Amino acid sequence: MASPYLLLLLLIPVLPLIFLLVLAFLVRPRPAKVPVKGRHVLITGGSSGIGLAMALQASAEGARVSILARSKAKLEEARDTIRLATGKEVTILSADVRDAEAVARAVDEAGPIDILVANQGVFIPQELEFQDLEEIRLQVEINLMGTIHLIKAALPGMKQNTKKTGLPASIAIISSQAGQVGVYGYTAYSASKFALRGLAEALQQEVISDNIYVSLVFPPDTETPGLTEEHKRRPELTNLIVAASEQMKADEVAKKALDGIKSGKFIVSCNFEGVMLAIATAGLSPQSSYMTAFAEVFGAGFMRFVGICFQWNWFTIIEKYNAKHNRG
Ligand SMILES: NC(=O)C1=CN([C@@H]2O[C@H](COP(=O)(O)OP(=O)(O)OC[C@H]3O[C@@H](n4cnc5c(N)ncnc54)[C@H](OP(=O)(O)O)[C@@H]3O)[C@@H](O)[C@H]2O)C=CC1
Ligand SMILES: CCCCCCCCCCCCCCCC(=O)[C@@H](N)CO
C-alpha cells in the first residue's frame, strides 16, 4: 500500500502543471493571431525612428502601409527610403495628432485600418519644477490626447473591417519603460505614458467583442533621431539612472513591437529588463499567454524585491549627486 506521504510527494511536481492548466483556462483575452500581410497598417510618427522602422518592416512583410506625421518633407523622405529598401509604396499623411479634425480627415483619406500603431511621441526631459507648462502640455497633448484622437477616428472603420474580413485587428500604442516606472527628469513624460496604460486596459475590454486586440509596447532608450535630440538636454541625473541600461536599435524595437502585435499580446516588452519590469508591474492587465501568466504569478514577489534594489540604487545615486552639488 502506498503511503499517503508518498502520494503527496508525487503531487509536488504535478502541481505546477495543474496550475498551468488552470491558467490556460482562465487567461483573457484568448490568444489570437493578427496577420500583417495584405493588411492596412497605419503608423503615426512613421517618418522617423521606431515608427519608420516599423513601416519598413511591415512593408517588407507585404502590408499596405500609411504613415502619419506633421512634417511633409520628413514624410516624403521616409517614403523614398521605404521605396528604395522594399520597392513598396506607402501612403503619406500630414497631420498634427493634437488636431482631432485633421486626424479624422487623414484617417478618412487613408481608408479603413486593420492595424493602428499610435507611435507618435515627444520626450522632453526636465524636472517638473523647472519645466515650462507649455512643454508639459505638449507632451500630454501629443502622447496622450493625440493617441485618443487617433483611436476615436480609426475605430469605426476598424470595426467594419473586422466584421467584413473576419480577421482580428490591432491597436498598438507605443509607451515607454518610463510608462512603467517613474524616473527622475521624466515627470511630465511619465505622466503622459502611464496614462496610456489605463487607456489601453479599459479599451481592450471595450473592443474585444469587435475582435480587436490592444498592444502596449514599452521600449527602453532606443537609438532614434528623437533620442539624439533628447540627449541635448537630458538632466545629468536622468543620464546617470538611464545610462545603466542598454540602448536598443530602432529596428530591434520595431521587430518586438510587430511580433507583439501579430501575437495579440497586451504587454509587449523589448529586452530582458523589460520582461522584469512587466512582471513587477503586471497589475491587473489583460494576459492571453498562460506561460507569461505563470511567470507573473510566481515571479511577482521576487521581482518586487529586485525593484526595491533598483530603487535603492537610484535614490543612492540621487543622494550622492545632490550632496556633491550642494542641493537639498
Ligand atoms: N527613442 C527612445 O529612446 C524611446 C522612444 N519611445 C517612444 O517611441 C515613440 C517613437 O519615438 P522615436 O522613434 O524616438 O521618435 P522620433 O522623435 O524619432 O520621431 C517622432 C515621430 O513622431 C512624429 N510626431 C511628433 N509629434 C507629432 C504630432 N504632434 N503629430 C503627428 N506626428 C508627430 C514625428 O514627426 P513630425 O515631427 O514631423 O510630426 C516623428 O515621425 C514615441 O512615442 C516615444 O515616446 C519610448 C521609449 C524610448
Ligand atoms: C523589476 C526591476 C526591473 C528594473 C529594470 C529597470 C530599468 C528601468 C529603466 C527605465 C528607463 C526609462 C527609459 C525611457 C526611455 C524613453 O522613453 C526616452 N528615451 C524618452 O524620453
Is there a single domain that holds both residue 41 and residue 182?
A: yes
Is there a single domain that holds both residue 310 and residue 272?
A: no
Crossing angle of helices 72-86 and 49-60, rounded to 10°:
40
Is there a single domain that holds both residue 319 and residue 209?
A: no
- Give a yes or no: residue 5 inside a domain: no
CATH of the domain at 65: 3.40.50.720
CA pseudo-torsion sign 258, 260, 265, 267: negative
Is there a single domain that holds both residue 143 and residue 227?
A: yes
Task: Round to whole Å and give the CA distance between 5 and 74.
Answer: 71
Ligand 2 pocket test: pick from 127, 174, 181, 276 the residue with the most ligand atoms within 8 Å of its Cβ.
Answer: 181
| Contact (CB, 8 A) for 55 and 82 | yes
Is there a single domain that holds both residue 271 and residue 309?
A: no
- Measured in Å, residue 232 CA sits from the centre of ligand 2 at 18
- Give a yes or no: residue 112 inside a domain: yes
| Contact (CB, 8 A) for 190 and 179 | yes
The DSSP annotation for 107-118 comes to HHHH---SEEEE
| Torsion from C-alpha of 144, 115, 264, 297, nearest 10 degrees | -10
Range of the domain at 303: 298-328
Is there a single domain that holds both residue 188 and residue 319?
A: no
Q: How many CA atoms lie within 13 A of 220 on its CB side?
A: 20
Q: Is the CB of 310 under 6 A from ligand 2?
A: yes
- Give a yes or no: residue 287 inside a domain: no
Q: Is the CB of 50 under 6 A from ligand 1?
A: yes
Classify residue 287 by its DSSP letter: B
Q: Is the CB of 189 under 6 A from ligand 2?
A: yes
DSSP three-state, residue 215: strand
Is there a single domain that holds both residue 84 and residue 58?
A: yes
Is there a single domain that holds both residue 304 and residue 253?
A: no
Q: How many CA atoms lie within 13 A of 74 on its CB side?
A: 16
CA pseudo-torsion sign 309, 218, 183, 237: positive
DSSP three-state, residue 282: coil
Task: Round to whole Å and give the CA distance between 183 and 180.
Answer: 9
- Measured in Å, residue 50 CA sits from the centre of ligand 1 at 8
How many folded domains does the chain comprise? 2
ipTM of this complex prediction, to 2 decimal places: 0.99
* Confidence (pLDDT) at 40: 98
* Confidence (pLDDT) at 4: 86
* Confidence (pLDDT) at 1: 55
**pTM recorded for the entire structure:** 0.97
Is there a single domain that holds both residue 83 and residue 185?
A: yes
Each residue's pLDDT expressed in tens, for the chain with a length of 328 residues = 568 888 888 888 888 899 999 999 999 999 999 999 999 999 999 999 999 999 999 999 999 999 999 999 999 999 999 999 999 999 999 999 999 999 999 999 999 999 999 999 999 999 999 999 999 999 999 999 999 999 999 999 999 999 999 999 999 999 999 999 999 999 999 999 999 999 999 999 999 999 999 999 999 999 999 999 999 999 999 999 998 899 999 999 999 999 999 999 999 999 999 999 999 999 999 999 999 999 999 999 999 999 999 999 999 999 999 999 988 6
For the record, the C-alpha cell of 54 comes out as 516599423
Is there a single domain that holds both residue 302 and residue 186?
A: no
Per the DSSP assignment, residues forming a β-bridge with 174 are 217
- Give a yes or no: residue 197 inside a domain: yes
| Contact (CB, 8 A) for 110 and 66 | yes
